[in-house]
Amino acid sequence: MTPISLLKLYGATAVVFFAIDLVWLGVVAQGFYQRHLGHLLRADILWGPALLFYTLYIAGVLVFAVLPGLDARSLTRTLALGAFLGLVAYATFDLTSMALLRDFPLVVVVVDLVWGMVLTASVAAAAYGIGRWLDIP
């Protein structure tokens, strides 16, 4: 795999990830998070940390789910690894928050864990298809 093809795959994966996650956060679940976590939410988003998270997370999706799936030529493996990565990553935040923050809602933990699995598996699957289209071994 060339560095250029890897950058193309990263860029395309980022577009897919942002499109799906921004619809979730900005439309589908906006009221949910406001209702359950409104007392913790900032009035203004700090974009630096958010973009750093996305940059790292997308790289993680590629390294831990997509590239192993492409190597095995297995969409099933990509989906499974993506779902597991999503579970682990989202559990890191939500379970730590539940352990440390007073009254952190269990419903938020459950919804976030499911969302993390669905989002990451979906993005990994799309990236797998893009990788096959780019002829990445």
Q: pLDDT tens across 83-134, in order?
A: 999 999 999 999 999 999 999 999 999 999 999 999 999 999 999 999 999 9
48: containing domain: 3-133
Distance CA 131, CA 137 (A): 8
DSSP strands (E only) in 1-137: none
41-55 residues labelled b (16+ CB within 10 A) or e (exposed):
eeeeeeeeeeeeeee
Q: What is the pLDDT of residues 46-90, one digit of tens each?
A: 999 999 999 999 999 999 999 999 999 999 999 999 999 999 999
For 83-116, b/e burial (b = at least 16 CB within 10 A) is bebbbebbbeebeebeeeeeebeeebbebbbebb
Provide the domain count of the chain: 1
- pTM for the structure as a whole: 0.93
